[in-house]
Amino acid sequence: MNRNELTRRLLEDAAQRSIRYRETCDDRSVAPDREAVAALGRLQQPLPDAGMPDEEVIALLDDVGSPATMAMAGSRFFGFVIGGSLPVTVASNWLSTAWDQNVVMHEVTPATATMEQVAIEWMVELLGLPHGTGAGFVTGATVANFSALAAARHRVFENVGWNVEANGLIGAPPVTIIVSDEAHPTLFKSLGMLGLGRDRVIRVPTDGQGRMIAAKLPELHGPAIVCTQAGNINSGAFDPIGDICDAVKPGGAWVHVDGAFGLWAAASTSKRALTDGMEAADSWATDAHKWLNVPYDGGIAFVRNPADLAAAMAITADYLITETEHRNPSDYTPELSRRGRGIDVYAALLSLGRKGVEELVDRCCRHARRFAEGLGGAGYDVLNDVVLNQVVVSFGDDATTRRVIDMIQADGTCWCGATVWQGVTAMRISVSSWATTDEDVDKSLDAMIAVAAAVLDG
Ligand SMILES: Cc1ncc(COP(=O)(O)O)c(C=O)c1O
């Protein structure tokens, strides 16, 4: 067999296996069973001297790996804020993997660079961000927060005459960093990585839903970065971003929005009000692998003035083609070399259209309300106002709730994780997948209620 024939056979086999995986994903326990996890021991073999034939490699990955996966691509995974992957994005991901483009420079990867640029323009429009906002495609909201805050760091220091990219932070003028008590841990991590300090922040208190209380913002003097949140990881609540902008923008502060999943509320007519005023901010971080349902991994760092992001990220070298009339993708990301993550975003947006994104967001929110009504109706405590796709529920005291969560996970009909919300142990339901239907919600509710009743009956 020649090389092309071997390649064709291998890829067709992998495609068949992938299709089978997706077709059977909802027929099995959402969490992998014990035997499947134990069988992972088969992967722990010594590095072979002579390689294994390719088709045997893929067979091993599938036979041992597939059963031991968590069915995140299925329709009843409600843990964390994960999202599934739209079929068109799995297909675009395969195709772009076959292209194997390194999206550094427009001149050498014009197809992918163009798709990414268009995807950015579409998202800016869809999410109601200011015209001209620029962006970089990164691995997720963590690096999107990092990148956007790197742009913020550039701007606030430049405003006081300090070139932070050249001179670093040693000897730099002080900067005030504001976060809320409910900021996501990745925000603190990003601040730490930027040398701004995880703990050198002023924390603003939050209300019972986890929203920053704008009236408690301190008076700001000098350079400042104010970090807000669109979508609390537990409750789904939004900081009053408009009020925060009104309070701090006149003094020249940079406002950042961590909207890992919540930013997509702006694509829905019925949910958009949650994001009111966020267009006055300077930067926004979001994920595509959450609510847009593209395969892992994909996040986006949006910055109102793209030059601020480029000032933090762009480099030149004699061997790179940096002099171009086009947008060079690597000018806007921490990475130089990377895959074309924006291709799947382009494919998702083209396939869904404006209406499809809105329907996806609305559907997930409707499912979340159905969960809240079902569990509340069964006598369990829904702890949050269900304003988006997140439901936080308690089944009794902390130990009982933990036990119920463990048993729901073991039951396998669906999967939800544990959290602590406002001091109370709770189960967190996040509905983020395009694939979840009303029937999935009902089936999951039945399982949750039956498991909880069994645990409570002793
Ligand atoms: C508000 C918020 N910010 C940041 C993140 C981190 O996102 P990622 O894991 O995609 O980096 C999350 C993850 O759930 C989040 O909810």
Q: What does the pLDDT look like over 302-317, one tens digit per residue? A: 999 999 999 999 988 8
Q: What is the pLDDT of residues 388-442, one digit of tens each?
A: 999 999 999 999 999 999 999 999 999 999 999 999 999 999 999 999 999 999 9
Convert 38-53 into a string of H (helix), E (strand) and C (coil): HHHHHHCCCCCCCCCC
Atom number of ligand 1 nearest to Cα 262: 1
Q: Given this model, what pLDDT does residue 323 score?
A: 83
Rounded CA separation 124/148 (Å): 15
Query: With bands split at pLDDT 50, 70 and 90, how would you rate the model's confidence at 18?
Result: very high
Distance 143 CA to ligand 1 centre (A): 9
Q: Which pLDDT belongs to residue 28? A: 96
**Hey, which of 182, 233, 341 would you mutate to test ligand 1's pocket, going by the most ligand atoms within 8 Å of its Cβ?**
233
Closest alpha carbon to 415 in 105, 7, 75: 75
Give the span between the Cα atoms of 455 and 10, in whole angstroms: 48
Distance 138 CA to ligand 1 centre (A): 13
Residue type at 446? Answer: D
Query: How far is 336 from 324, CA to CA, in rounded Å?
Result: 16
Q: Which two tokens stand for residue 401?
A: 């709730």
What is the distance in A from the centroid of ligand 1 to the CA of 30? 22
In the chain, the percentage of residues whose pLDDT exceeds 90 is 97
Kindly give the number of the ligand 1 atom that is closest to the alpha carbon of 230.
1
Q: Is the CB of 259 under 6 A from ligand 1?
A: no
Rounded to the nearest angstrom, the distance between the alpha carbon of 305 and the centre of ligand 1 is 23
248 C-alpha to ligand 1 centroid (Å): 25
Pairing between β-strand 283-287 and β-strand 254-258 as defined by DSSP bridges: parallel
258 Cα to the center of ligand 1, angstroms: 8
Segment 252-281 shows an average pLDDT of 98
Q: How large is the average pLDDT for residues 177-189? A: 98
Question: How many angstroms from the chain centroid is the CA of residue 405?
Answer: 24
Report whether residue 235 contacts ligand 1, using a CB cutoff of 6 Å.
no
Higher pLDDT, 322 or 361: 361
- CA of 3 from ligand 1 middle (Å) equals 42
Q: How far apart are CA 166 and CA 160, in angstroms?
A: 14
d(C-alpha 388, C-alpha 276), whole Å? 15
- Kindly give the distance from the C-alpha atom of residue 396 to the centroid of ligand 1, in angstroms, as a whole number: 28
DSSP 8-state assignment for residue 161: T
Q: Is 184 in the pocket of ligand 1 (CB under 6 A)?
A: yes
- Nearest Cα to Cα of residue 238 among 108, 390, 86, 114: 390
Instruction: Ligand 1 pocket test: pick from 188, 211, 275, 287 the residue with the most ligand atoms within 8 Å of its Cβ.
Output: 287
User: Phi-psi bin for 168: left (phi > 0), alpha (psi -120 to 50), beta?
Assistant: left
Residue owning the nearest CA to atom 2 of ligand 1:
260
258 within ligand 1 shell (Cβ under 6 A):
yes
Domain ranges for the chain, please list them. Answer: 93-348
State how far the Cα of 328 lies from the Cα of 314, in Å rounded to an integer.
Answer: 9
pLDDT at position 9 is 97
Residue 372: burial class (beta carbons within 10 Å; 0-12, 13-18, 19+): buried
For residue 186, the model assigns a pLDDT of 97
Q: 194-246 pLDDT, tens per residue?
A: 999 999 999 999 999 999 999 999 999 999 999 999 999 999 999 999 999 99
Q: How far apart (Å, rounded) are the C-alpha atoms in residues 425 and 394?
A: 7
Distances (CA, A) of 443 to 176, 296, 402: 49, 27, 21
Distance of CA 12 to the CA centre of its chain: 31
Round to the nearest angstrom and report the end-to-end CA distance of the chain: 63
Ligand 1 site-directed mutation target among 82, 186, 419, most atoms within 8 Å of CB:
186
Name the residue with the closest Cα to ligand 1, atom 15: 260
What angle is formed at CA 16 by the lines to CA 15 and CA 17, rounded to 5 degrees? 90
Q: Quick one: fold of 93-348?
A: Aspartate Aminotransferase; domain 2 (3.40.640)
**Candidates 184, 212, 292: which one to mutate for ligand 1, based on the most atoms within 8 Å of Cβ?**
184
From residue 153, give the alpha-carbon distance in Å to each of 19, 190, 225, 266, 359: 45, 11, 8, 26, 37
pLDDT, the chain, mean: 97
Predicted confidence (pLDDT) at residue 324 exceeds the cutoff of 90: no
How far apart, in Å, are the Cα atoms of 161 and each of 172, 197, 305, 310? 10, 21, 18, 18
Task: Quick: pLDDT tens for 275-301.
Answer: 999 999 999 999 999 999 999 999 999
DSSP alpha helix (H) spans, 341-385? 342-377
C-beta neighbour count of 426 within 10 angstroms: 26
**pLDDT of the residue at 368:** 98
144 CA: nearest ligand 1 atom: 11
Residues 6+ apart with CB under 8 A from 324: 105, 106, 107
263 Cα: distance to centroid of ligand 1 (angstroms) = 12
Assess whether the C-beta atom of 287 lies below 6 angstroms from ligand 1.
yes
At residue 322, the pLDDT reads: 82
- Composition of the chain by helix, strand, coil, percent to 5: 50, 15, 40
- Find out whether the beta carbon of 231 lies less than 6 Å from any atom of ligand 1: yes
Q: How far apart are the CA of 141 and the centre of ligand 1, in A?
A: 5
Q: Model pTM?
A: 0.97
Q: With left for phi above 0 and alpha for psi between -120 and 50, is residue 257 left, alpha or beta? A: beta
Distance CA(147)–CA(198), nearest Å, equals: 16
pLDDT for 236: 98
**Most informative mutation of 82, 142, 232, 294 for ligand 1 (most atoms within 8 A of CB):** 142
